[in-house]
Chain A
Amino acid sequence: MRNLLAALITTPAILLAGCATTPEENSRISTLQQEIDNLNSTPDGKQYAPIAVQEAQESLDKLKNLSEDGVSDEKYEHQLYLTERQIEIARANVSQKQAEATVGSAELRRKDILLQAERQESARARSLAASMAGRAQELEQQVSDLQTEDTERGLVLTLGSVLFETNKATLHTGSQRTVEKVAEFLNQYPERKILIEGFTDSRGSDDYNQQLSEDRAQAVRELLVTSGVDAQRVQVEGYGEEYPVASNDNSAGRQQNRRVEIVISKENGADVSDRTTMVDEQ
């Protein structure tokens, strides 16, 4: 009687166990489902291997049905094997298509690199052109500051009267930088002799103007020498109100006449020819 009771209880339990899905089966199935979901959730899986992923899902669905039906272990194991392989096929398909996409886009990317290189080249060319233009402007500015003029006597740099305080031979502090720049310029021609000529406008006495013109020329000479120009190279001449370059009847003209000119000899070692002889020759 007791045995019968035990048999009555255990038999349905065994039957139920035989029919129901085991926990191992469930976890194995959900792992596989996860793998398929992963393939499906990536854009690559959907885009590159839609059929293989679909087939893997169908294979897994079959496995789920077999598991629920409680078929023989052999059939279940077989379907499990197929499903696992199917998922691997889907994965292989995805990586194949990814690689093929890389190969397919190669030509486009090659062109892109060349285009980018071209753009960079032209950007470099532009910046080079810009820096060259900047350098040219700088040089132009320097030249216009110095107002150089190529004459028969040599290269003449004219320093305007703005460099000097009124009625004085002292240079404005701001003007000293300009003279230093002249010194740099002169040092580029170390063999050339230099003549510094001072001029004034027509206001004031001749004596005063003569002295002022000499003092101004001398002041420029001293500054040039302290800026590194060899004193032996530099001669000084004052001309007072002679040799005006503009009319002394108006202030603008007078301003042009108040000036110091630096003449650089044309040939190495030769003295700058005297202004008076030049005038005589002309």
Chain B
Amino acid sequence: MKTFLCQKTRSLRFVIPFFLVFIAACSTVQPPATLVTQAQERVRQAESVGADDAAPLVLREAQQHLSEAERAMQKEQFEEARLLLEKSLINSELAIAQTNASNAKKAAEEIEKNLDLLRREATPNSQSNSYSYE
């Protein structure tokens, strides 16, 4: 292709921009295979950390975007697939982040409860003190 263009215009200065434009155009229609793998892995990761419980809606979006992307891939609508995969990925990320936050919050709440209990037991206002005034 390059040699063909070279022969035609006989000038490299014109050839290079054309070539770049061609590459750019081509790359968008390449099947985003890596992205598919990534999106699949992320959905699996989100499921494994328990996003099903903590962020079910966001996880479902990630799953739906992924299956839509896979369908688009079969129809060779690669640009469409790429956008869907990006959406799936970001939703998986969000599901994981929300699950982590929810787990941390649960732990923090339990800690607060325990500390509160301890504080109540340790303060003199409670009846549990064992002073005797005999």
Residue positions of A touching B, CB distance < 8 A: 52, 74, 78, 81-82, 85-86, 88-89, 92-93, 95-100, 102-103, 106, 109-110, 113-114, 116-117, 120-121, 124, 128
14 inter-chain pairs at a CB distance below 8 angstroms, sorted by A residue, are A52-B97, A81-B87, A81-B90, A86-B90, A88-B97, A89-B93, A89-B97, A95-B104, A99-B104, A99-B105, A102-B108, A106-B114, A110-B118, A124-B124
B45 within 8 A of A: no
B interface SS class: helix
Which chain B residues lie closer than 8 Å to A113 at the CB level? Answer: 115, 118-119, 122
For residue B106, which residue of chain A has the nearest CB?
Answer: A99
A82 touches B86 (CB 8 A): yes
Residue total for B at the interface (Cβ-Cβ under 8 A):
25
B90 touches A100 (CB 8 A): no
Q: Mark B30-62, 1 if CB is under 8 A from A, else 0.
A: 000000000000000000000000000000000
Q: How far is the CA of A26 from the CA of B118 in the complex (A)?
A: 52
Which chain B residues lie closer than 8 Å to A100 at the CB level? Answer: 104, 107-108
Q: How far is the CA of A85 from the CA of B115 in the complex (A)?
A: 35
Which chain B residues lie closer than 8 Å to A97 at the CB level? Answer: 104
A-B contact count (CB 8 A): 78
List B residues 59-85 near A (Cβ within 8 Å): 83
Which chain B residues lie closer than 8 Å to A120 at the CB level? Answer: 123-124
Q: How far is the CA of A146 from the CA of B122 in the complex (A)?
A: 45
Which chain B residues lie closer than 8 Å to A99 at the CB level? Answer: 101, 104-105, 107-108
Q: How far is the CA of A233 from the CA of B87 in the complex (A)?
A: 104
List B residues 102-117 near A (Cβ within 8 Å): 104-105, 107-108, 111-112, 114-115
Which chain B residues lie closer than 8 Å to A52 at the CB level? Answer: 97
Q: How far is the CA of A97 from the CA of B108 in the complex (A)?
A: 11
A92 and B97 contact, Cβ closer than 8 Å, known pairs A113-B118, A117-B122, A120-B124: yes
A96 touches B100 (CB 8 A): yes
Question: In the assembled complex, how far is the CB of residue B73 from the closest CB belonging to chain A, in whole angstroms?
Answer: 17
For residue A116, which residue of chain B has the nearest CB?
Answer: B122
A106 touches B111 (CB 8 A): yes
Q: How far is the CA of A114 from the CA of B100 in the complex (A)?
A: 31
Which chain B residues lie closer than 8 Å to A117 at the CB level? Answer: 122-124
Question: In the assembled complex, how far is the CB of residue B89 from the closest CB belonging to chain A, in whole angstroms?
Answer: 9
Q: How far is the CA of A121 from the CA of B83 in the complex (A)?
A: 65
Task: List 9 A-B pairs, minimum CB-CB distance, nearest first.
Answer: A117-B122, A99-B104, A92-B97, A96-B101, A102-B108, A99-B108, A85-B90, A106-B111, A92-B101
A95 and B122 contact, Cβ closer than 8 Å, known pairs A106-B115, A110-B115: no
Q: How far is the CA of A89 from the CA of B100 in the complex (A)?
A: 11
If A78-B87, A89-B93, A109-B115 are given as contacts, then 6 extra A-B residue pairs at C-beta distance below 8 Å, sorted by A number, are A85-B87, A89-B90, A96-B105, A99-B101, A117-B122, A121-B124
